[in-house]
Amino acid sequence: MRPRLQVHQLVPPFALPAGQGKVLKLWDYKMRKNLVILFHQGSSCLPCREKLTEVAENYGEFVKLETEILAVSSEGEENNEKLRGELNLPFPLLSYPAGRVIEKYTYWQGDNRTPSPSVFVTNRFGTLFFQQIAEEITGLLQGEEILKWLLFIQSQCPECSI
């Protein structure tokens, strides 16, 4: 699938429900953290659950690289909070059933209105360095490969290094 965004451009801003009545704004992280934005197909998708668990297992490494993970699905807040608890995820699961944010980044899959599995890696300024849209979530980069992109980003900005 053809990417919707351009590398080295700013990613579109968004504000999405993050559970417990909180709204998370993309720009809350600007100038503070690199971001990995992961679009997944929700709690009923077993491979998606496995991908979220894999990313959670590497979360300590992401934190060392001053990076936050934002996982977005078209499910409601209640399902996301339940999934976050079941999988003991240390990062926010964002909800967007309406889809305009999803359409800015990736595509809808089929009639079930789930986003195509996608990953976007940005620096702390919101500049896109890597994007991947896949038919199946198993086709996305592994956690170690995402970490390599973050190391590359750090090498581009030595004054931003830890």
**6 in any annotated domain:** no
**8 in any annotated domain:** no
At residue 162 the predicted structure's pLDDT band, cuts being 50, 70 and 90, is very low
Q: Is the confidence at residue 103, as pLDDT, over 90?
A: no
Domain housing 149: 15-118+133-160
**9 in any annotated domain:** no
**10 in any annotated domain:** no
Give how far the C-alpha of residue 95 lies from the chain's centroid of Cα atoms, to the nearest Å.
Answer: 12
Number of domains composing the chain: 1
Mean pLDDT of 107-129: 89
**63 in any annotated domain:** yes
**156 in any annotated domain:** yes
- Rounded Cα gap, residues 108 and 7, in angstroms: 21
pTM of the model: 0.93
> Shortest CA distance to 134 belongs to which of 106, 111, 113, 155?
106
What's 38's domain CATH number? Answer: 3.40.30.10
Question: pLDDT of 16-35, one tens digit each?
Answer: 998 878 899 998 998 899 99
**123 in any annotated domain:** no
As a whole-number percent, the residues of the chain with pLDDT over 90 amount to: 71
Q: Is the confidence at residue 137, as pLDDT, over 70?
A: yes
Question: pLDDT of 45-101, one tens digit each?
Answer: 999 999 999 999 999 999 999 999 999 998 988 999 999 999 999 999 998 877 788
pLDDT averaged over the chain?
90
Q: Which two tokens stand for residue 11?
A: 């990613």
**3 in any annotated domain:** no
